[in-house]
Amino acid sequence: METAKDKAQKTMQFIASLPFSKALQMQPEEIGDGVAVISMPYAAELVGDPASGVIHGGAVSALMDTCGGAAVMSHPNAGAGTATIDLRIDYMRGATPGQRITARAECYHVTRSVAFVRAQAWDEDATRPVAAATGAFTFEQLPQDAS
């Protein structure tokens, strides 16, 4: 049986192996028991509006999607691999230019083949979210215990 620590380690290795995660310099902050916290630094090449310096919504979306998948992968009742079925993101405000963006996702319900996730992203002002998301992810089935 895979332990929570094993699942967290595999999830972190998976995130580190994704070229897009590397390009966005995503950094896992916390992974375990269906919860993931991942951050990424401000980067000028990710700016979507040169006049304001605000990070492009696509980069925030990628962060939240990766964070949601990591929450699923670390859930005790989900398998290791995952894919996004649906992800709805509500953008509440532009992230403050120059500030790190952090996302936290929680896998709150798992069926036989679908996991459901809620997430938020914020900059240095955690009281004012940049975006909120809900998503559904498919995952690999866990092997049945032979005993």
pLDDT tens-digit profile of 85-95? Answer: 999 999 999 99
Q: In this model, does residue 142 exceed pLDDT 70?
A: no
Provide the token pair at 51. 């006049």
> Domain locations in the chain?
4-139
Are the C-beta atoms of residues 135 and 119 closer than 8 Å to each other? yes
DSSP per-residue string spanning the chain: ---HHHHHHHHHHHHHH-HHHHHTT-EEEEEETTEEEEEE---GGGEEETTTTEEPHHHHHHHHHHHHHHHHHHSTTS-S-EEEEEEEEEE-SPPPTT--EEEEEEEEEE-SSEEEEEEEEESS-TTS-SEEEEEEEEEPPPPPP--
Q: pLDDT by residue (tens digit) across 26-80?
A: 999 999 999 999 999 999 999 998 999 999 999 999 999 999 999 999 999 887 7
pLDDT value at residue 81: 83
Provide the token pair at 113. 């083949």
pLDDT value at residue 144: 58
pLDDT value at residue 38: 97
Taking every pair of Cα atoms in the chain, the longest distance, rounded to a whole number of angstroms, is: 62
Query: Could you say which architecture CATH assigns to the domain 4-139?
Result: Roll (3.10)
